[in-house]
Amino acid sequence: MREQKITLGEMRESGPTRLLVFCQDFRCAHSVAIDGDAWPDHVRISDLEPKFTCQACGHRGADVRPMFEPARMGTDA
Ligand SMILES: [Zn+2]
């Protein structure tokens, strides 16, 4: 997945400003949404992955991906 290689700057250019962080332990699968504002544009999303520790099970390392918000276009078709 090319997504994992992009920088936060590239992510923000394509829309998302938040990140979804998943525990790498599939038995746990805890996930949390965080704000990407804490990191500058040149940081790669994949560089963040080793920095997280799961708050549910204590596993070090996470899968991080952009959080695509549902489009908020007004009218019902
Ligand atoms: Zn976990």
Determine, yes or no, domain membership for 51: yes
d(CA 22, ligand 1 centre) in Å:
8
Q: Rounded to whole angstroms, how far apart are CA atoms 77 and 74?
A: 9
C-alpha 65 to ligand 1 mean position (Å): 16
DSSP conformation class of 66: E
Please give the distance, rounded to the nearest whole angstrom, from the Cα atom of residue 27 to the centre of ligand 1: 8
30 neighbors 55 (Cβ within 8 angstroms): yes
Would you state the pLDDT for residue 11? 94
| Residue 43, domain member (yes or no) | yes
Check pLDDT > 90 for residue 33.
yes
- Mean pLDDT along residues 54-77: 84
Q: Domain range holding 51?
A: 8-66
49 C-alpha vs ligand 1 centroid, how far in Å?
13
Q: Kindly tell me if the per-residue pLDDT of 1 is higher than 80.
A: no
CA distance 5 to 21: 15
Q: Is the pLDDT of residue 69 over 90?
A: no
The pTM (predicted TM-score) of the whole model is 0.79
Alpha-carbon distance of 48 to 46, in angstroms, equals: 5
- For the chain, the domain total comes to 1
- DSSP class of residue 70? P
In a domain, residue 38? The reply is yes
Cα dist. 56→24, 28, 59, 60 in Å?
Answer: 12, 8, 8, 11
